[in-house]
Amino acid sequence: MKNFLLIILTSCVLGACNEYNGYSSVDPVNWKSREVSTMPLDSLVQGKSYLSVYSQIYSGTEHRTHDLTATVSIRNTHPTDTIYIDKAEYFDTHGESIRTYFNHTIFIAPMETVEIVIDEGDKEGGTGANFIFDWQMKPTSNEPMFEGVMISTSGQQGISFTTTGKRIQ
């Protein structure tokens, strides 16, 4: 009976595991459903922001790294205005583009947050990964806020830290 229960428990645990696809997310956003087909007639301010994220960090020596899960938050802090993000591009430590999450204008509703999750198993970004975001907003609106939260746990040990985006244009 014990062996039977152990076999069932093991099967359930193994069946719950998902195959890693390179850039999955807990709850991926359907970027297509956020696509903006026509832009507002208002004159919009354009900008570009940089956000550093870390897929890995060094530990003890430059030859040993810890893999991290990174959550990238794209936030609209205005209570009534929608903001528009034209592009979200992810780069590795060497400045090579890894992937573009979307390359068409999407909207972020007032006070809404949209997230990109880079799985712990996705090591492509390395120790110096980053994002470039192209965005637009009304001149009277608040600039979008970009934040990164990196976390890793192992046994009873855990590490977490945050980064904040910076406007570069």
Note whether residue 18 is domain-resident: no
Beta-carbon contacts of residue 80 (< 8 Å; ≥ 6 apart):
110
Domain assignment present for residue 47? The answer is: yes
Predicted confidence (pLDDT) at residue 102 exceeds the cutoff of 70: yes
State mean pLDDT over 24-41.
70
**4-13, 22-31, 102-111, 133-142, range with the lowest pLDDT:** 4-13
- In a domain, residue 16? The reply is no
Cα torsion angle, 100, 102, 107, 111, sign: negative
- pLDDT tens-digit readout, 114-127: 999 999 989 999 99
In a domain, 118, yes or no: yes
CATH label of the domain that carries residue 49: 2.60.290.11
Strands (E), 10-144: 45-52, 56-59, 61-67, 69-75, 83-91, 97-102, 106-108, 113-118, 130-137
- Residues 97, 100, 102, CA angle at the centre, nearest 5°? 165
Task: Indicate whether 157 belongs to any domain.
Answer: yes
Tens digits of per-residue pLDDT, 39-68? 766 689 999 999 999 999 998 889 988 899
Per the structure, the count of domains in the chain is 1
Model confidence band, residue 26 (pLDDT cutoffs 50, 70, 90): very low
Which residue segment(s) compose the domain that 150 sits in?
42-167
Q: Is residue 17 part of a domain?
A: no
